[in-house]
Chain A
Amino acid sequence: MIINLLISSFITIFIAELGDKTQLATLTLSGTSKKPLAVFLGSASALILASLVGVLAGGSISTFIPEIYLKLIASLTFLIIGSRLIFDYLNK
């Protein structure tokens, strides 16, 4: 029963995460820096913390902060990183 739940949690989350924007960010960070271990440790601890928040809150963080703000912050973060990468390319 516990093993079943462990495996089904693993499969659900692993599949949900493949090709997600989080993985795109990890991929970018890893490809543009020379320290993949630092990228891995940073993103892994962020993911574990986010998952801990998800489990503990019993309601996601969107219960406290409206989803629209979370999405806005995520959108801006991606815009900043993306445009900085393009800007660096054009500027070199």
Chain B
Amino acid sequence: MDKDDKNIEKGFLSIFLTSFTTIFIAELGDKTQLATLMLSAESGEPLIVFLGSSFALLCSSIVGVLIGKWISTKISKEKFALFTGILMTLVSAWIGYTIFNIDS
């Protein structure tokens, strides 16, 4: 129980940095970034596109946080960690699979 608490009770800054790094890495070269890029190039109004897409990303991030919180109240924390762990491993495998299909 002690060990469990230590795992979860990390500092604000540490959680902030973990979230920032994970999301930033996941987002680079992602389809969202490509869409932002295309909208910005097509319209010639990068500032407006930046405002619109930033706001959309904020909203989707709030949705993600709220869904995560909601699910974690419905099922036990251990089960939640296991399910999302499996899901993330699958996503990793899927990204890995697409690497080998970039050229085709």
Contacts and interface: CB of A to CB of B under 8 A. Distances in A.
Whether chain B is bound by chain A comes out as yes
Given A26-B61, A44-B61, A78-B92, A9 B28 contact: no
Contacts, number: 311
Interface of B: 3-4, 7-10, 12-13, 15-37, 39-41, 43, 45-46, 48-69, 71-72, 77-78, 80-82, 84-93, 95-96, 98-99, 102
Given A33-B15, A46-B21, A76-B92, A9 B53 contact: yes
A62 B77 CA distance: 37
A24 B95 CA distance: 14
B52 A6 contact: yes
Contact of A18 (B51, B63, B69, B93): B63
Nearest to A23: B64
B103 to A, nearest CB: 9
A2 B77 CA distance: 45
Interface string A59-86: 1111001011011111111110111111
A75 B61 contact: no
Contacts of B69: 30-31, 36
